[in-house]
A and B are shown apart, each in its own frame.
Chain A
Amino acid sequence: MASIKLDRVTRTFGTKTAVSNISFEVPDREFLVLLGPSGCGKSTLLRMLAGLESVSSGEIHLNQRRVDQLPPSARDMAFVFQSYALYPHMTVRRNITFPLIMRQFKWWFHIPIIGGMAKRKIEASPEVSDLVGRTAKILALTEMMDRFPRTLSGGQRQRVALGRAMVRQPQVFLMDEPLSNLDAKLRMSMRAEIIKLHRDVGGTFVYVTHDQIEAMTMGTKIALMRDGVVQQFGTPREIYLDPANTFVARFIGTPPMNLIEARLERGSLRIGERTFSLPAHLAGAASGDQPVLVGIRPNALTIVSGHDQALAGTVALVEHVGAESVIDVRLDHATTAHREEGEGRNEVMITESGYSDLHANDVVSVAVDLSEAVLFSPESGLRLRPASQAATARVN
């Protein structure tokens, strides 16, 4: 049973701060996903948990026991690498058994022949061979135990790497983008296997990825990071529905949330040429008249014809994904706060189910559903919440 606690953990490399003052707690049996773009410090944080990287300041606790000064092998954590990091000169069986051999390792195991015999004896002992056999069966590796890693496919290698982690029966599994070297189809099936592994094996999982779909589907908790700082820590649902700032809002969700520049005016919200009445959950989020950013998910915008409470625009691009269509609309009067990959300053994304018949340059009206909209400050990018909600958010 393993709970992890990070207390003001910081890591600096020279003058660069890779991980800055991170504190959070992960209860036992949680599946924590460290999510963020490249270079956000998520892998460094994971490596600090494993003991592969030292902590510049702060403390890491595993079950109330401080572990940040301990060597990696004394922390009772297993690590699955992005590159699998299998031992190429050992068979699958020896790769999986290796951590168990190391537990009984003596210096004279280095002597050729004698050491080899001793290792084989450990490998053949009933408790070790049973455990390895069971692990191999769970991961469907039984048929390939005597093969070398170079003869295996990517997915099989990844399963061997998981097997090597599982036989140790560790309290914590650490995984550093373990699926990113696999093709899309295999990634989906391995994703399901890891979720199943978490359910069956128990233990606490910490999983690093830059893929928000992986984070949303696998994690019971997500820590979304940028520039070494945790932007938001919470369940996937909280992070999706209740983003703490514009970065979180744009990072989670495909297509990302639209951030439209608007103005609060006497209890109503003015977007472009239209004025909308402020829904109850947004009332009191900001006092007086002021500019705000409205965050609206693409599925809360709808293409309508001739609606007087709709925003006028022109279709810029239609992408058919199969079950739904993603429509890029250039608004006539409103501007957005995001301008990524050559987008114009007034383009919003809208998802519609089914195969859309719209074409580029069609003139359309966009209806806005504000029931799940959120407000952000245009200067700081932080969430604007009504006073009552702000108090709850702080407690979380």
Chain B
Amino acid sequence: MTRSGSWGHGLRMLAILALLGAAAFPLYWMFVTSLTPSSELFASDARLLPKFSEIGVYRDAFHGTSVTTWVRNSAIVAVGTTLVSLALAIFPAYALSRFRFRGMGLVGFGLFITQMLPEAMLVVPLYAIFGNLALLNTLGGLILANSAFTVPVITWILKGAIDGVPIDIEEAARIDGCSRLDIVLGVVLPLVAPTLAAAAVIAFFHGWNEYIFAQTLISDQDLRTASVGLAGFVGELSTPVHTVMAIGLMYTLPAVIFYLFVQRFVVAGMTAGSVKG
């Protein structure tokens, strides 16, 4: 490697480390705070290293709260939102990309408009509708409410990816005996897999982080998601900060693991697509 090349490499590594530090520091800070005794929390000199003797806070949080139930509920809602959103978005995305029909622009614009409405505005009407449909206080109802917000975004993202699939490949599949459904599922979807993975990330995190619907549409303690459970600790008089941080960390880790798992597909797809063919 040339001298300037090694300098460039070093600088790049430095930039990557700086970005990584900026992204990972909040997680680290959460961990340190969770292991800081209450008495030192508001001390003027902040503690930078965790105090491992305080590790018992995790055991207490695990046994003393419903954190496992909350995280499980969050996982059900997030995975459900991902599956429902992808399943519902694939076909309109394909139709918007491949078919020319009357009112096409209107459909696209309509999908776009839904993104402009704040969730809080829809809480009351959704509550009324879900009440009539017996969807209140069910995780299924929450999945549907979340999907209503993710489907339009994912539809647009997938449409863009499907636009990039050469029409010749679809025509070859038609000649080889594929029906339209076979083409979408067997030819187009594998080719837009990286975008599908990116869409899955968006839907998963929407379902995982969502708070307003989870707070209003669910009243049963056993069906609470972690975002609502966590918020329940914030009291008027006191907040057990280290417990909140410990639970927060337990709430964050599964999402990070999910992202690390899906991210491989996103990156693999990027390199596959970079080669002409």
Contacts and interface: CB of A to CB of B under 8 A. Distances in A.
Judge: A and B partners, yes or no.
yes
A270 interface: no
27 contacts: A52-B171, A52-B175, A72-B174, A72-B175, A73-B176, A73-B178, A79-B171, A79-B172, A81-B168, A82-B168, A83-B166, A85-B172, A86-B277, A87-B169, A87-B172, A87-B187, A88-B169, A88-B272, A89-B191, A102-B176, A102-B178, A105-B177, A110-B185, A110-B186, A157-B277, A164-B176, A168-B176
Contacts of A82: 168
Interface in A107-130: 109-110
Nearest to B172: A85
Interface in A270-290: none
A78 interface: yes
A221 B191 CA distance: 39
Report, as a range, how many residues of chain B touch the other chain. 20 to 34
Given A89-B190, A89-B191, A73 B277 contact: no
A152 B176 CA distance: 22
Contact of B169 (A71, A85, A103, A157): A85
B22 interface: no
Contacts of B190: 89
Contacts of A247: none
B23 interface: no
A240 interface: no
A330 to B, nearest CB: 47
Chain A contact-residue range equals 20 to 34
Interface of B: 166, 168-169, 171-178, 182, 185-187, 190-191, 193, 272, 275-277
Interface in A244-265: none
B177 A77 contact: no
A51 B169 CA distance: 15
A88 B277 contact: yes
A169 to B, nearest CB: 13
B169 A73 contact: no
Nearest to A148: B277
A149 interface: yes
Nearest to A98: B176
B191 A88 contact: yes
Which of A51, A109, A110, A149 has most chain B Cβ within 10 Å? A110
A51 B272 CA distance: 32
Interface in A126-184: 148-150, 152, 157, 164, 168
Interface in A38-84: 50-52, 71-73, 77-79, 81-83
A83 B168 contact: yes
A291 interface: no
Contacts of B176: 73, 98-99, 102, 164, 168
A67 B144 CA distance: 46
Contact of B175 (A50, A83, A157): A50
The interface centre, meaning the residue of B177, B185, B190 with most chain A CB atoms within 10 A of its CB, is B177
A1 B87 CA distance: 45
Contacts of A88: 169, 191, 272, 277
Nearest to B171: A52
Contact of B182 (A72, A77, A87, A105): A105
Contacts of A149: 277
A150 B169 contact: no
A81 to B, nearest CB: 5
B180 to A, nearest CB: 11
A71 B176 CA distance: 11
Contacts of A86: 169, 172, 277
A152 B272 CA distance: 14
A79 B187 contact: no
Nearest to A110: B185
Contacts of B187: 87
B177 A73 contact: yes
Contacts of A83: 166, 168
Contact of A150 (B182, B186, B193, B272): B272
A201 B231 CA distance: 73
A88 B275 CA distance: 10
A386 B249 CA distance: 97
Given A89-B190, A150-B272, A102 B177 contact: yes
A86 B168 CA distance: 9
B166 A150 contact: no
Nearest to A88: B277
A157 B190 CA distance: 20
A78 B175 contact: yes
Nearest to A83: B168
Nearest to A170: B175
Contacts of B275: 150
A73 B272 contact: no
A85 B168 contact: yes
A77 B175 contact: yes
B172 to A, nearest CB: 4
Given A149-B277, A150-B272, A150-B277, A73 B174 contact: yes
A380 to B, nearest CB: 39
A81 B171 contact: yes
A102 B169 CA distance: 15
B177 A103 contact: yes
A75 to B, nearest CB: 9
Contact of A85 (B171, B178, B185, B186): B171
A150 B271 CA distance: 11
Contacts of B185: 110
A52 to B, nearest CB: 5
A168 B175 CA distance: 11
